[in-house]
């Protein structure tokens, strides 16, 4: 597995709270705006969808691609970020 980014480490090091969707690893301003336009303005809303999909990697990455056009690298970063957050806090 590749090393994580500082953004990833920051996200998984603390409770979810009301973090913006752009706090998620792999989600920058452009993808964040696309997600916000679909009602996913907070990271916990994306987490909810992740959990609704049963934390399934393939399903989540497919949804993220469809929802905001994330490329494979961005989808991988976001999935790993949420998975590690869940491992730490759920």
Other C-beta atoms closer than 10 Å to the C-beta of 82 total: 24
pLDDT tens-digit readout, 71-85: 999 999 999 999 999
Give the mean pLDDT of the chain.
95
| pLDDT at position 4 | 81
User: What homologous superfamily is domain 6-89 in, according to CATH?
Assistant: Barrier-to-autointegration factor, BAF (1.10.150.40)
The answer, yes or no, to whether residue 87 has pLDDT greater than 60, is yes
Which residues are CB-contacts of 60 (< 8 A; sequence separation ≥ 6)?
Answer: 49, 50, 53, 75, 79, 82
Contact criterion met (CB below 8 Å) for 22 and 29? yes
| pLDDT at position 1 | 45
The answer, yes or no, to whether residue 51 has pLDDT greater than 90, is yes
pLDDT tens-digit readout, 1-33: 456 899 999 999 999 999 999 999 999 999 999
């Amino acid at each position: 597995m590749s090393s994580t980014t500082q953004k990833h480490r920051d996200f998984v090091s603390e409770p979810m709270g009301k973090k913006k969707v752009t706090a998620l690893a792999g989600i920058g301003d452009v993808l964040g705006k696309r997600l916000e336009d679909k009602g996913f303005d907070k990271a916990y809303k994306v987490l909810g969808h992740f959990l609704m999909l049963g934390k399934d990697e393939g399903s989540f990455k497919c949804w993220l691609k469809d929802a905001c056009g994330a490329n494979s690298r961005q989808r991988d970063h976001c999935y790993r970020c949420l998975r590690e957050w869940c491992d730490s806090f759920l």
